[in-house]
């Protein structure tokens, strides 16, 4: 399972893959189609904050990518995903996507 950056504006797809452990979303992100990852992960995928990521778990979904908040939450190995998106992906907290 992996996630990819997705560039829909140009109609082209740039594929870079990385595996991350699913963690609970911030309360304010629930239901908004937002995932949070470490800023270095966004940079390595070539995605700017607010860009889209293609998430692949047991199913596929897309989400808006934003950086994690605060130093205590900086972990390049997690992705914060809300319950709706986790359900769409058919994954749980602790799974790797």
Contact 24, 34 (CB under 8 A): no
Residue 76 backbone dihedrals phi, psi, to 5 degrees: -70, 0
DSSP state of 96: B
What pTM was estimated for this model as a whole?
Answer: 0.82
Q: In what order do the strands lie in the sheet with 21-24?
A: 17-18, 2-6, 52-56, 60-67, 34-37, 78-81, 21-24
Query: In a structure prediction context, what are the per-residue pLDDT tens digits for the chain, which is 97 residues long?
Result: 445 554 444 455 557 789 999 999 999 999 999 999 999 999 999 999 999 999 999 999 999 999 998 766 678 899 999 999 999 999 999 999 9
């Amino acid at each position: 399972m992996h996630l990819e950056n997705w560039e829909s504006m140009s109609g082209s797809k740039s594929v870079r893959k990385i595996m991350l452990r699913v963690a609970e979303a911030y309360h304010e992100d629930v239901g908004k189609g937002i995932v949070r990852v470490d800023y270095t992960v966004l940079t390595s995928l070539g995605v700017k904050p607010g860009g889209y990521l293609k998430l692949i778990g047991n199913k596929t979904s897309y989400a808006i990518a934003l950086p994690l908040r605060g130093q205590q939450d900086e972990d390049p190995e997690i992705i914060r995903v809300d319950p709706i998106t986790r359900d769409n992906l058919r994954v749980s907290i602790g799974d790797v996507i």
